[in-house]
Amino acid sequence: MRSLLPVLAVLGGIVMLFAATMLVPLAFAFLGGDAALYAYDGAIAITFTSGLALYLLGRRSRRELQPRDGFLLVSLVWTVLPVFGALPLLFHIEGLSFTDAYFEAASGLTTTGATVLTGLERLPLSINVWRCLMVFIGGMGILVLAVAILPLLGVGGSQLFKAETPGPMKDQKLTPRIAETARGLWTIYFVMALACFLAYRLAGMSWADAFMHMCTTVSLGGFAAYDASFGAFDSPAIELVATVFMLLAGINFALYFVAWRRRSLRGLWRDLEARVYFALLAAAVAGLTLYLMAHRVYPDLGQTLRHTAFHVVSIATTTGFATRDYAQWPPFAPLLLLFLSCFTCCAGSTGGGIKLIRSLLLMKSAQREFKRLVHPRAVVPITLGGAAVDANVLQSVLAFMLVYGAVMVGATLLLLFSGLEVVTAFTAVLSSLNNTGPGLGLVGPAGTFQPLTDFQVWVCTIAMLLGRLELFSILVLFTAAFWRK
Amino acid sequence: MRSLLPVLAVLGGIVMLFAATMLVPLAFAFLGGDAALYAYDGAIAITFTSGLALYLLGRRSRRELQPRDGFLLVSLVWTVLPVFGALPLLFHIEGLSFTDAYFEAASGLTTTGATVLTGLERLPLSINVWRCLMVFIGGMGILVLAVAILPLLGVGGSQLFKAETPGPMKDQKLTPRIAETARGLWTIYFVMALACFLAYRLAGMSWADAFMHMCTTVSLGGFAAYDASFGAFDSPAIELVATVFMLLAGINFALYFVAWRRRSLRGLWRDLEARVYFALLAAAVAGLTLYLMAHRVYPDLGQTLRHTAFHVVSIATTTGFATRDYAQWPPFAPLLLLFLSCFTCCAGSTGGGIKLIRSLLLMKSAQREFKRLVHPRAVVPITLGGAAVDANVLQSVLAFMLVYGAVMVGATLLLLFSGLEVVTAFTAVLSSLNNTGPGLGLVGPAGTFQPLTDFQVWVCTIAMLLGRLELFSILVLFTAAFWRK
Ligand SMILES: [K+]
Ligand SMILES: [K+]
């Protein structure tokens, strides 16, 4: 039996830091004198004390963490933090169940952006700030997870994410220590956040709106401070800003990191995944614009293009903002959006889903099979960006895809079993597992996850967590082999 | 550029034999003096002449067929025969389009059993005989395809189907020559058909009904001579007979072949796939019975069990008979049935879908990934029934699964694009690709494929053919490598 204790010390430290971030909504509440002012001191006290207790509990057994501890740590971080993140919501919003509060916090910290709350504009500003800040913090965690931790653990072939960055990455490895990588990634993330914040302000948002929606844009999170999401602004300028920053945030942050260290954007232009990402999105916008024009959904090309571009980028990057109820478009359109959300995001971004590079590898692996059928004795290696892909990495990616499919089907059957109709069940799972936010049916862009029963909410919560931790990090904890010495 | 000609000679021979089978409905029409009597002589003449022409065209270039020719041959057989199989329908049914007639014939020959016809009971007996006979003939073809040809071509890891049969198969290979294997398989098939025929008659069907429904039972085809399918009989005895023979026909016929040669059933009891098959079906029947009882769908346990057992076996084995409109059951139930239809049939049967043995292998492959995460340096071989599975076979199976998923998603998007709503689109594709027959929505057990547009019917037809030929046999023809010398 492995010991939990060394991991708990680190978790305790993270929980204490998380408590500190609650000072931000507290400051908003204090300065604005809003009704939720007294929701934070209790939350901060409980969170900090719990973190301290965890730290003290684990301190004695503290040792250098081994890779295997990583599975436990990341799983604990993303399942435990929502408990504390839920506290301000529980303390302020009367009648909110723990199930719903945990869902909301987990949805934030996994940058899913699905909500169980309605009447967002009637909530105190500080509560919305906290919701959005959790998304921003979640994004910070995900960057480190995706670029530094998962590749180390070899989850779902994510070794690939590093190795496949062509050009500069070849002769210059990512700063080995996770802490240093984290600092680099976060600097980029903060610079992007600042630019986004100012751009939103310039485009006409209030300072507070600019802050909150910046938080949920660069993290591809998708929470908004309004029930109507970005529809509340009805501003092409704001939508343009959102689109640009969603696009930028969907790229592998390791590329930015290298570009910054090298003072050169060459690696970015040359990256296969990034190129396919832009090409795919451009094709989807063009195609869907034509489709909606043909169906005369909007009166002219300008409006059609505006709504298509915004929603394609928002859903494909798994952000989840909406300005229109695109579930009302002819059914091909919303389904195409959900389909894109499964694989469009680049690895090493804060987006969800299978990731583009895995999808490319899967396609190549299917292609190889055709060659093999014609030339049974030929050895056909699979290459990506010029380099051959290791057979183990390929098998990991294939296994990822299998488990992804199995979780999708299994969770959908659970939701059906619990009484949901098929479209809501399937898209709620799809959207949760891909960390997108909106689905279709009850959980469509005009709805929320509120109508779901507690059981259904938990299924979606688990799907969000599984998707965020790339399935294996959390599922491996349920194998006997993991716990054996 | 490869030459088509040597394959055409063989195809011509098969087409001529196919013409001969039309004598059966002709005999029924003649003896019964039905209205379609004059539909067959033209069809026979055209079919036979075309076959002869193909034979003569290819005869000069005749040579020993190479494995690669197999792809072309099986693809041609299943795409060309429906053209001729459609003729009697076109000649007799006024206003029937070629699209619909081809769909109906392809649906028969692929043992899918989806129909575009309504008012089946008002059709002349001989037309229904012909529809059902095509299913029976299709089943004969599929057995040879699945047991002898696909493993030879290495499609989708189907080498596995042979190698994994434990016990007797180890020391005694299947009769090497395809022709001899075919004779053996067909003998078993005919014995099963005869038993089924007599059992239906004893259970109360007319001779003609017993013949037609035997044709579509042992082939897991699912065509019926009545719009209400097996609901028309409303007889527990008939349903029991159908259930038993569907169950028996869902097992790998290679096992029967070996049992017959060895005069021993030991191989059958010991086969991993067959055991899982029965266990899975038993569990599904038990589980679904409880579920329907809990939802009080039927007044008592007896009726619930009767309808559950029949529909679980019918849909999971991809047969597609129905006695009740199970689409009206709470949504979990029909979706579970469709889910089962994706993978329950054993390889080497006339059933469709992924096949149980592939699914087992996929599960083991995902399992291995968990072990690998915990012990990154361990070499973990995948075994099935005691023997290690070759890495190439595993990769072929994984590639099969990827292409299966891609075709499912791609065809669904096409149907959505053409204007269908999501449930009909998805389940029409699922049901076609798995060669099941009924889906949900418009194409549910109470409906037909008639409301679909020509384009939509073609998408489903292609899905049926792709599913039947295990995707790769037909898709490989669209690669450049195949046609290179
Ligand atoms: K999101
Ligand atoms: K069928």
Average pLDDT of the residues in B9-17: 93
Average pLDDT of the residues in B386-409: 89
Q: Which one of B370, B400, B477 makes the best mutation probe of the A interface by having the most chain A beta carbons within 10 Å?
A: B370
Q: Which one of B150, B292, B364, B373 makes the best mutation probe of the A interface by having the most chain A beta carbons within 10 Å?
A: B373
Cα atoms in the Cβ-side hemisphere of radius 13 Å centred on A18:
33
pLDDT tens profile A121-137:
899 999 999 999 999 99
Greatest Cα pair distance, chain B, in angstroms, is 74
User: Are the C-beta atoms of B117 and B68 separated by less than 8 Å?
Assistant: no
Specify the pLDDT at position B162.
Answer: 56
Specify the pLDDT at position A392.
Answer: 83
User: Are the C-beta atoms of A34 and A5 separated by less than 8 Å?
Assistant: no
Average pLDDT of the residues in B9-25: 94
Q: Which residue of B has its CA nearest to A484?
A: B374
Q: Which one of A74, A152, A155, A369 makes the best mutation probe of the B interface by having the most chain B beta carbons within 10 Å?
A: A369
- When CB atoms are compared, the residue of B331, B373, B422 closest to A472 is B373
CA–CA separation, B409 and B433 (whole Å): 11
pLDDT tens profile B252-268:
998 898 888 888 888 78
Is the Cβ pair A365, B476 closer than 8 Å? no
Q: Does residue B47 have a pLDDT over 80?
A: yes
Residues of A in contact with B421 (CB under 8 A): 331
CA–CA separation, B347 and A406 (whole Å): 21
CA–CA separation, A345 and A259 (whole Å): 19
User: Are the C-beta atoms of B12 and B80 separated by less than 8 Å?
Assistant: no
User: Are the C-beta atoms of A305 and A289 separated by less than 8 Å?
Assistant: yes
User: Are the C-beta atoms of A138 and A113 separated by less than 8 Å?
Assistant: no
**What band does A485 get if pLDDT is binned at 50, 70 and 90?**
low
Q: In angstroms, what separates the C-alpha of B409 from chain A's closest C-alpha?
A: 8
Q: Which residue of A has its CA nearest to B393?
A: A369
**What band does B426 get if pLDDT is binned at 50, 70 and 90?**
very high
- Poorest-confidence range of A209-223, A373-387, B315-329, B411-425? A373-387
Specify the pLDDT at position B187.
Answer: 93
- Poorest-confidence range of A27-36, A217-226, A395-404, B328-337? A27-36
- When CB atoms are compared, the residue of B370, B402, B420 closest to A476 is B370
Specify the pLDDT at position A163.
Answer: 37
- When CB atoms are compared, the residue of B331, B366, B375 closest to A402 is B366
Ligand nearest to the CA of B135: 2
CA–CA separation, A9 and A12 (whole Å): 5
Q: In angstroms, what separates the C-alpha of A369 from chain B's closest C-alpha?
A: 6
Ligand nearest to the CA of A229: 1
Residues of A in contact with B402 (CB under 8 A): 362, 365-366, 398, 401
Query: Which of these, A469, A420, A470, A474, lies nearest to A449 by C-alpha position?
Result: A420
Question: How far from the centroid of its chain's Cα atoms is residue B193's Cα?
Answer: 16
Q: Distance from the CA of B34 to the center of ligand 2, in angstroms?
A: 28
- When CB atoms are compared, the residue of A68, A371, A416 closest to B335 is A416
- When CB atoms are compared, the residue of B71, B339, B371 closest to A413 is B339
Helices (H), A204-271: 207-218, 236-249, 253-262, 266-270
The mean predicted confidence, pLDDT, of chain B is 89
CA–CA separation, A358 and A400 (whole Å): 9
Neighbours of A458 (CB within 10 A): 16
Percent of chain B having pLDDT more than 90?
A: 67
Percent of chain A having pLDDT more than 70?
A: 95
Residue A424's identity, in one-letter code, is: T
User: Are the C-beta atoms of A210 and A197 separated by less than 8 Å?
Assistant: yes
User: Are the C-beta atoms of A256 and A188 separated by less than 8 Å?
Assistant: yes
Q: Which residue of B has its CA nearest to A482?
A: B374
Q: In angstroms, what separates the C-alpha of B21 from chain A's closest C-alpha?
A: 33
pLDDT tens profile B21-31:
999 999 999 98
The mean predicted confidence, pLDDT, of chain A is 89
Q: Does residue B225 have a pLDDT over 80?
A: yes
Using only C-alpha atoms, what is the Rg of chain B?
22
Residue B405's identity, in one-letter code, is: G
Query: In DSSP terms, which residues pair with B48 in a beta bridge?
Result: none
Tokens describing residue B226: 């009545």
CA–CA separation, A104 and A111 (whole Å): 10
Specify the pLDDT at position A164.
Answer: 36
Query: In DSSP terms, which residues pair with A383 in a beta bridge?
Result: A388
CA–CA separation, A199 and A189 (whole Å): 15
Q: Distance from the CA of A423 to the center of ligand 1, in angstroms?
A: 19
CA–CA separation, A125 and A40 (whole Å): 13
Tokens describing residue B42: 């033209």
* Residue ranges per structural domain of chain B: 1-96, 127-408
Q: Which residue of A has its CA nearest to B441?
A: A422
| Cα–Cα distances in angstroms (integers) from residue A37 to residues A83, A125, A215, in the given order | 20, 10, 21
CA–CA separation, A127 and A133 (whole Å): 10
Q: DSSP per residue over B353-390, as a string? A: SS-HHHHHHHHHHHHHHHHHHHSTT-----EETTEEPP
Q: Does residue A373 have a pLDDT over 80?
A: yes
- When CB atoms are compared, the residue of B405, B420, B423 closest to A405 is B405
pLDDT tens profile B151-208:
878 887 777 665 333 333 333 443 356 777 888 899 999 999 999 999 999 999 999 9
| Cα–Cα distances in angstroms (integers) from residue A469 to residues A79, A80, A430, in the given order | 10, 14, 15
CA–CA separation, B146 and B265 (whole Å): 21
Residues of B in contact with A406 (CB under 8 A): 366
Is the Cβ pair B417, A332 closer than 8 Å? yes
Tokens describing residue A47: 């969170």
**Pairing state of beta strands B387-388 and A387-388?**
unpaired
Using only C-alpha atoms, what is the Rg of chain A?
22
Percent of chain A having pLDDT more than 90?
A: 67
Neighbours of ion ligand 2 (CB under 5 A): B 113, 222, 318, 320, 437
Ligand nearest to the CA of A107: 1
Specify the pLDDT at position A13.
Answer: 92
Average pLDDT of the residues in B230-234: 92
User: Are the C-beta atoms of B154 and A376 separated by less than 8 Å?
Assistant: yes
